Amino acid sequence: MAEVVVRRLLATVPVLFLVTAGVFLLLHLTPGDPVDAMMAESVDAGAKESLRRELGLDRPIAVQYVAWMGRLVRGDLGRSIRNGEPVIENVSRRLRPSLQLAVLAMGISLLVAFPVAIVSALRHNTGVDRAGTTFALFGICMPNFLLALLLIFVFGVTLRWLPISGYLDPFDEGWPGLRSLVLPAVTLGLALAAVITRTLRSSLLEALGEDYVRTARAKGLSEWVVIRGHVLKNALIPVVTVLGLQLGTLIGGAVITEYVFALPGVGRLVVDAVFARDYPLVQGVILLIALGFIVSNLLVDLLYGWIDPRIRLR
C-alpha cells in the first residue's frame, strides 16, 4: 500500500508542473494589467511603471515564471498584489468555509442518494423507480444558481426559516453558524445527490443481475442482507470515482453558490482575484485546488483496493 501511495505522489509532480505552467501562461496572456486594475486612469504613467518594476511585471514571462517556481519550491506562494499579504494567509482564511460547505454538502448528498438509488434499483420499472429517475434527471438538469434562488425564496423569504446570505463559523457560533450553511449545502448536495443516484442505480441494476446474487437469494438470505453484503459493495466503485471528482470540485469552491449566498470561500476568492488581475493569488489558489483534486483521487485509489481486493493485487 505504501508503494502505491509513493508511486501516485511521484506521478503528480509532472501534473502540478503542467498546471502551474498553464495557469501562469494563461494569466499573463489574458488582456489586462494588474497595475491598471490597482490604480486609477488619472495616475501618472511613471508611477504605474515604477509599480510595475517593483512587482516584477516588467520582466519577461519566462523569468517571472522561474522566479515564482523558485519561491514555490521553498514553500512561498508569494504575496497578493491587491493587499500585499502572503497568498497562503489569504487562502487559509477562505479555505475553512469552503471545507465546511464541502463536507456538509457531501453528507447531504449521500444521505439522499443512497436510499433513493437502492429503492429505485429494487423497484425497477415501477412508479418508485420512475420517481427516483425523475429526481436524478431534475437534479442534473437544474442549474445551481436557479435551485439556490428557489431555496432562498421558499425557505428564506417566504417561510423565513433560514438566513439567505452571510457566513458564521459553526465551530464558533454553534447552531446559528450551521444555519448559515444549510441552504448552500442543500443546493450543492441535491445536485451531487442526483449524479450519485443515477450512477449508483445503474451500478446496482447491473450487480443485481449477477449469478452470485441469485445464489445468495437461493440460500435463503434476506433481501437486505443480499444488498448490504453482496450487491452494494460491488456497486460502489463507479460511485467512489464520482465522489472523488466531486470532492475535489467542492474543495475548490462552488463559485456560483458562494456568490449567491455571499460566502467568503475559495471559489469567490479566486474569481475576485481574476477580476483584479492578482496573479500570485490566482496561481496559489489554482495550485491548492489542483492539490485537492490529487489528494481526492489518491483517496479514491486507496478505496478501490479496500472495496475490491483484486484491484489491490493488480
Residue 32 region by backbone torsions, left for phi larger than 0, else alpha for psi between -120 and 50, else beta: left
Instruction: Tell me if 281 sits within 8 A of 273, measured CB to CB.
Output: yes
Q: Which residues pair with 79 in a beta bridge?
A: 86
Report pLDDT for 85. 82
Report pLDDT for 44. 66
Query: How distant, in Å, are the alpha carbons of 26, 67, 123, 144, 259 from that of 256?
Result: 22, 33, 36, 7, 5
Report pLDDT for 42. 57
Report pLDDT for 22. 83
Residue for grid cell 495557469: 23
Report pLDDT for 108. 92
Closest-CA residue to 258 (of 150, 99, 140, 139): 99
Report pLDDT for 99. 85
Domains and CATH numbers, the chain: 18-73 (no CATH), 95-313 (1.10.3720.10)
Instruction: Tell me if 163 sits within 8 A of 273, measured CB to CB.
Output: no
What phi and psi values does residue 79 have, to the nearest 5 degrees?
-120, 145
Neighbours of 192 (CB within 10 A): 25
Cα dihedral 52/58/62/67 (nearest 10):
-50
Report pLDDT for 111. 92
Q: How far apart are CA 149 and CA 184, in angstroms?
A: 10
Closest-CA residue to 261 (of 139, 155, 172): 155
DSSP conformational letter for 153: I
Residue for grid cell 434527471: 137
As given in the structure block, the three cell numbers for residue 256 are: 456560483
Q: How far apart are CA 142 and CA 140, in angstroms?
A: 6
Q: Walk along the chain (314 residues) in steps of 10 and give the mean pLDDT of each run.
A: 70 79 78 67 68 75 82 80 81 85 89 90 86 87 86 88 85 84 90 88 82 77 75 79 76 74 83 80 82 77 68 54
